């Protein structure tokens, strides 16, 4: 690829990122072994800045350097205008973060099949009627990045993913619950994974009535991700630069409950979403996005940082800024105590469609695909045909009852970014709609 930079027209800046991913995995479906897969992919992504405009071209075609360069140069005629003086980062020290497990690298299909068989048989031992799906997969990832300003860096990581889910169909009643986890090494707590799936499944076996109204509701960590989406969208530097974020004039103001502290951190060791530098060669770091209810920091890449005259935050993703690993600071309430403290309410483990809608308005609503009635401090069966609605801006300002001490890591597979660690969150006044 050295020739690619040598053939650049005069005055053109360029950045080349090459990622290689070697994946092997096994899958169990319908309670039986379904098959295996092996994939070997390499992607070259080239960004150029020509005459003050930046463009992106990517290719998986081997030996297509010239084609890649021509495509990027043509697109640059209409590319994103960059602020005057924009430059890719120069040579820099690259922090060392532990992201590789030799055990993951060495794991073969036999080990993954054993994991899948163990998860599947544990679920079937609990209830033979369940249709079980399970998967285990390992990724070996290599990323290299260099640019015409002199930056050159690379890193490797391994990702071990596993998960199990169960479906029970009884007439027109469908019940599904599953959990998946990612790690750098293969030392997953499979017993804990099995216990959690079985526990939630057992809680959900019986259905319970639920009337429309406004209730205290516990959102499981997977659901908290939908509640955090409006904040992450509004604190994205691109939303600021393009004038669509309603937080633009409200940074530094007390907008949320003081218990809300939201951090993005791409530097955590042995966490798959971490990386020593972002998509653009900027070192990742710990960014306090919201501190005790006060929005402080934006997610910024080189482009948006330059437009807003701020420092990049290590959140470059190639098509705008994005989070690396978001952490909502946990509270000090045990989940069990949260449940015990509710006279009548819900805990939501699964929803559908909560990702849809306009994040800048703060409204989040979804169909509750797995919600459990809480009555007098105890789980009292699964509710059906219900939707929830909150306004994240309002509920996280006035309606936070508790954050759990327990947290769960979500996502983090693949080449990088997009992971989160959230606690359970108890909000009051959550609107629940139903036809009951």
Nearer to another protein, 30 or 87 (CB): 30
Q: How far is CA 386 from CA 66, 173, 178, 394, 434, in A?
A: 55, 14, 20, 21, 5
Nearer to another protein, 77 or 340 (CB): 77
Strand runs labelled E in 171-235: 173-183, 213-219
Using CA atoms, how far apart are residues 359 and 379, in angstroms rounded to an integer?
31
Nearer to another protein, 58 or 92 (CB): 58
Length of the chain: 436
Q: Which two tokens stand for residue 256?
A: 């949320």
Using CA atoms, how far apart are residues 83 and 61, in angstroms rounded to an integer?
32
The CB-of-45 to another protein minimum distance in angstroms stands at 9
The CB-of-293 to another protein minimum distance in angstroms stands at 16
Using CA atoms, how far apart are residues 429 and 412, in angstroms rounded to an integer?
32
Using CA atoms, how far apart are residues 204 and 193, in angstroms rounded to an integer?
17
The CB-of-360 to another protein minimum distance in angstroms stands at 4
Which residues have CB under 8 Å from 53's CB, separation 6+? 76, 77, 78, 79, 80, 81, 82
The CB-of-50 to another protein minimum distance in angstroms stands at 12
Q: Taking the CA of residue 271 as centre, how many other CA atoms within 13 Å lie in the half-sphere pointing to its CB? A: 23
Alpha helical stretches, state H, 235-351 = 237-241, 302-308, 335-340
Nearer to another protein, 31 or 147 (CB): 31
Which position has the token pair 């750098």? 184
Nearer to another protein, 99 or 368 (CB): 368
The CB-of-294 to another protein minimum distance in angstroms stands at 16
Nearer to another protein, 125 or 356 (CB): 356
Nearer to another protein, 388 or 424 (CB): 388
The CB-of-31 to another protein minimum distance in angstroms stands at 8
Nearer to another protein, 111 or 367 (CB): 367
Q: What is the 3-state secondary structure (H, E, C) of 81-100?
A: ECCCCCCCCCCCCCCCCCCC
Which residues have CB under 8 Å from 57's CB, separation 6+? 45, 46, 68, 69, 71, 72, 75
The CB-of-87 to another protein minimum distance in angstroms stands at 19
Using CA atoms, how far apart are residues 307 and 355, in angstroms rounded to an integer?
28
The CB-of-201 to another protein minimum distance in angstroms stands at 14
Strand runs labelled E in 266-321: 286-291, 294-295
Nearer to another protein, 90 or 246 (CB): 246
């Amino acid at each position: 690829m050295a020739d690619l930079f040598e053939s650049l027209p005069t005055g053109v800046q360029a950045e080349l990122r090459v990622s290689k991913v070697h994946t092997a995995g096994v899958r169990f479906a319908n309670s039986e072994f379904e098959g295996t897969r092996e994939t070997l992919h390499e992607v070259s992504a080239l960004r150029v800045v020509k005459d003050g405009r930046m463009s992106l071209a990517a290719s998986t075609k081997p030996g297509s350097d010239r084609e890649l360069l021509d495509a990027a140069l043509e697109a640059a005629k209409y590319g994103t205008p960059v602020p005057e003086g924009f430059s890719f980062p120069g040579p820099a020290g690259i922090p060392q973060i532990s992201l590789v497990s030799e055990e993951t690298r060495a794991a073969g299909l036999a080990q993954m099949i054993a994991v899948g068989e163990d998860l599947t048989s544990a679920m079937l031992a609990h209830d033979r009627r369940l249709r079980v799906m399970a998967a285990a997969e390992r990724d070996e990832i290599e990323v290299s990045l260099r640019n015409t300003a002199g930056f050159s860096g690379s890193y490797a990581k391994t990702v071990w993913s596993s998960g199990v889910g169960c479906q029970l169909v009884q007439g027109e009643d469908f019940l599904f619950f599953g959990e998946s986890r990612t790690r750098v090494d293969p030392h997953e707590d499979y017993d804990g994974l099995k216990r959690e799936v079985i526990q939630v499944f057992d809680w959900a076996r019986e259905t319970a009535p639920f009337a429309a109204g406004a209730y205290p509701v516990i959102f499981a960590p997977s659901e908290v991700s939908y509640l955090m989406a409006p904040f992450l969208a509004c604190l994205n530097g691109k939303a600021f630069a393009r004038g669509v974020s309603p937080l633009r004039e409200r940074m530094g103001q007390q907008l949320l409950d003081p218990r809300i502290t939201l951090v993005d951190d791409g530097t955590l060791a042995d966490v798959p979403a971490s990386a020593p530098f972002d998509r653009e060669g900027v070192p990742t770091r710990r960014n306090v996005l919201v501190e005790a209810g006060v929005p402080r920091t934006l997610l910024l890449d080189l482009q948006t940082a330059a437009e807003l005259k701020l420092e990049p935050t290590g959140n470059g993703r190639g098509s705008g800024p994005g989070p690396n690993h978001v952490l909502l600071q946990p509270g000090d309430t045990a989940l069990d105590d949260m449940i015990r403290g509710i006279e009548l309410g819900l805990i939501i483990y699964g929803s559908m469609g909560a990702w849809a809608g306009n994040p800048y308005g703060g409204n989040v609503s979804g169909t509750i695909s797995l919600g459990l009635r809480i009555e007098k401090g105890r789980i009292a069966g699964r509710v059906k045909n219900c939707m929830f609605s909150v306004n994240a801006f309002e509920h996280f300002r006035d309606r936070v009852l508790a954050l759990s001490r327990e947290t769960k890591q979500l996502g983090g597979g693949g080449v990088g970014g997009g992971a989160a660690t959230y606690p359970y969150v108890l909000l009051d006044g959550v609107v629940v709609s139903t036809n009951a």
